[in-house]
Chains A and B, each alone.
Chain A
């Protein structure tokens, strides 16, 4: 990213802002004083070890988990039900039975009005929208296959199309790269990077490994030990910074443009 666009983005107001969020699960404080913002069209990686609270943070933003403190702001106002349509969501790996009577195009169709009561009558306009969404994610080849029979990478594409067809301004993805083979992983990352750039959609993606995302991430939100550190990868992922966050000694090693975070002596 050039200096000017980076400059331009800092002047812009946050699309999403978390202010002092704390979360208590079963009486235990799992996150405290989490503060960060996401700007329009920005690709943010929500990185941290398994069990750090990445899913919990996404659930707070989605309104599925009530925080014990702090607030979630969208366009500067507290998050309310009418903001649901601004947020597209791709949940963690779904287990879909092969006999589930949903073709890829049916799943995308549910993204349009799956939350509404009533009948969805087929129309050429509707079909066009669905075909377009499938094409945008490269899923046209398996549009008429049952979603339960698709591979993990193919399912991710379909779920991304499902999330995007209602034209949200923000896309939240929970560990979309888990259980994918290397090739699908790279394809999904490239696809998301392109979607964020071309459509100015803010992407917030959780992952336990930041390496596949280094080429597309504008910013990183690193979660560990109930707290977050946020900024550019270079600012956040340092031995000193992460040692402070984890609360014990951590070494950050860079090899061939890859980053390894290892527990220190």
Chain B
């Protein structure tokens, strides 16, 4: 196993922090991602991540930890997206696009000012693409707590979210406040996106949110199993990515490890593509009536 696990891997402080935080982020993204996919909110998830960039770069500029910037911007954007309204698809698309443009413009300014201040590009790289090896140990408790809050919130909402995805009217007829549930879910999503922005970067956080969930939805058919499979495959990709990034110190160019986010994202995508290698579960026609069309006339 030495070829994979370089000696000293677990003795390294940053690696231990990365494994811990990466694991938590992967579980939160995996569980919440299942609902993002079935609610068709991948775009919302990505928008929240983009807006989080603004918060993260702003926080860096004023000397705060980026996580708080990600979180504040993410939750504010979630509120704004909800306030803009869910009634009209087109209105929502246009408004999200406009808000997104403004947020990214501000992010460009903040990142530029940030590089002027410190004359390095390291900060912008960390905000955009993350690095689990530079997570400050001081923020670890806050990261764990946020992840736990988001996962718990979605677990408590799970049944209502499933009923709403089946049919919003069915949920409303049973007295569910669909709008309030949607808002609560969007806030949990913002927390999860902020966490993965810390771990693999704001730009790449969507990969960890959608990839494992999409993989799990191809392999499982019940909600509990989908959440479990999504969390597990996310953790597997994250941990393996950390190990590979640690090993890559010895790869060319020497002395510089490859970005851990790169490995995580590649593994997530590879896992998803692997599900296509597997034979589709159901090749037979769905019902006798459909089957009749295929039989020779």
Contacts and interface: CB of A to CB of B under 8 A. Distances in A.
Say whether A associates with B: yes
- Chain B interface category by residue count: 35 or more
Contact of B286 (A62, A150, A181): A150
A115 B171 contact: yes
A114 interface: yes
Contacts of B162: 102, 106, 110, 114
A100 B167 contact: no
A91 B157 contact: no
A208 interface: no
Interface stretch (B11-19, B121-129, B189-197, B215-223): B215-223
A63 B172 CA distance: 9
A120 B157 CA distance: 11
A144 B172 CA distance: 26
B223 A89 contact: no
A106 B222 CA distance: 7
Contact of A146 (B173, B175, B216, B221): B221
A115 B174 contact: yes
Given A84-B173, A99-B217, A115 B156 contact: no
A118 B287 CA distance: 36
B269 interface: no
Interface of A: 59, 62-64, 81, 84-85, 87, 89, 91, 94, 96-97, 99-103, 106-107, 110, 113-120, 144-146, 149-151, 153-154, 181, 183
B173 A120 contact: no
B173 A113 contact: no
16 contacts: A62-B172, A64-B169, A89-B173, A97-B38, A99-B218, A101-B220, A101-B226, A102-B162, A102-B223, A114-B160, A118-B159, A119-B156, A144-B221, A145-B221, A151-B286, A151-B290
Contacts of A99: 37-38, 217-218
Contacts of B157: 117
B33 to A, nearest CB: 12
B175 A117 contact: no
B170 interface: yes
A151 B173 contact: no
Candidate in A84, A87, A110, A120 with the most chain B CB atoms within 10 angstroms: A110
A100 B289 contact: no
Contact of A154 (B165, B223, B287): B287
A120 B175 CA distance: 18
B223 A115 contact: no
Interface string B133-164: 00000000000000000000001111110110
B167 A94 contact: yes
B226 A110 contact: no
Interface string B205-237: 000000000001110111101100000000000
A119 B156 CA distance: 6
B38 A101 contact: yes
B165 A100 contact: yes
